[in-house]
Amino acid sequence: MSRRRSEQRLKRLIMSLTTRWMSGELWQYREREIGTIIYSLGCFPSQADLHDLIAEVEEDQTGYIHLDSFLPVMSKVLLEHKFPPIPEDLLLQAFEVLDKEKKGYLEHEELTKYMTQEGELFTQEEVDEMLTALADHEKNVVYYKDLINQLTIDPDM
């Protein structure tokens, strides 16, 4: 995809995420929105990568991003495949690593502990959301094998 086309596509994408945004605008972004956009484009930056990216485009730590600075940086990320995706089969193995007793599922407390204490830490809010979204509500556990499909299938784009 040419740079120009990807920029246009990006612009549209961002516009669909922020209502009635107009070009030339300073965009008062929310960090999660940046993540959303980048992930939606198929990139897998780490949190550190994300922060670096934001630092690169943000206007002097004001909390504002000028879209004209954001677009070329983002296009570059896309064109250079800067944050490539991780293969799906690893996901199951990752869960199995955490499931020390090989139960086939993870309990709420287990998952919470790992997500909030290891790796690229989740906030409490993220964990709560994850549990609400993914856990079996009757048994209060996460059957990760069944989740893999859900987490990796991309029906739309």
Partner 1 sequence: MGCGTSVATETRGKIVEPDDTAKTPCPALTMKAAVLIQRWYRRYMARLEMRRRYTWNIFQSIEYAGEQDQLQLSSFFSFMLDNFTQLNENGPDLISQLLDPVVDPWLGRETGYNLIPVPESYSGPRLSFPLSVSDTNSLLGAFKEQQTLHARYVLQLLYETKKLLKQMPNITHLSTSYTNEITICGDLHGRLDDLLLIFYKNGLPSAETPYVFNGDFVDRGKKSVEVVILLLAYLLLYPDYMHLNRGNHEDHIMNLRYGFTREVMQKYKTHGREILQLFQDVFSLLPVATVIDGKILIVHGGISDQTDLDFLSSIERHKVKSTLRFPRRSLEKLDIDQSQRQMKRGRSTASSRPSSSCSHSKNQRTPNQRKRRCGQRRQDSTVSTSSSSSSSSSSLCSPRTPSALSPRPCPSSPSMPCNVNVLQVPFLDSLSSVAPPLPLQHDLEWKQIVDILWSDPKTQEGCSPNIFRGGGCYFGPDVTQRLLTRHGLQLLIRSHECKQEGYELCHGGKVITIFSASNYYEEGSNRGAYIKVGRELVPRFYQYQVSHTTRKLTLTQRVRVAEGSALKALKEKLFSHRSELLSGLQQYDHKNTGNVSVSDWAQVLESVLRLDLPWRTLRPHLARLAPDGSVEYKSCFEDMESGIPLPQVTPNMAETLFRYRTDIEIIFNIIDKDHSGLISIEEFRHIWHLFSAHLGVDIDDRAIDDLARSIDFNKDGSIDFTEFLEAFRVVHKLENKDQQLNEKMDGDKYS
> Would you tell me which residues interact with partner 1 (CB under 8 A)?
9, 12-13, 15-17, 19-22, 25-26, 28, 32, 35-40, 44, 46, 86-87, 89-91, 93-98, 100-101, 114-115, 118-120, 122, 129-130, 132-134, 136-137, 146, 149-157
Least CB distance to partner 1 at residue 34 (A):
10
Least CB distance to partner 1 at residue 5 (A):
9
Q: Which is nearer to partner 1, 13 or 73 (CB)?
A: 13
Least CB distance to partner 1 at residue 83 (A):
10
Phi-psi region of 104 (alpha: psi -120 to 50; beta: other; left: phi over 0): left
Where helices occur in 41-156 by DSSP H, the ranges are 47-57, 67-79, 89-98, 108-117, 124-134, 144-152
Least CB distance to partner 1 at residue 45 (A):
9
User: 91 with 151: CB under 8 angstroms?
Assistant: yes
Q: Which is nearer to partner 1, 52 or 146 (CB)?
A: 146
* 85 phi and psi angles, rounded to 5 deg: -70, 160
Q: Which is nearer to partner 1, 17 or 79 (CB)?
A: 17
CB burial of residue 35 (10 Å; 0-12, 13-18, 19+) = middle
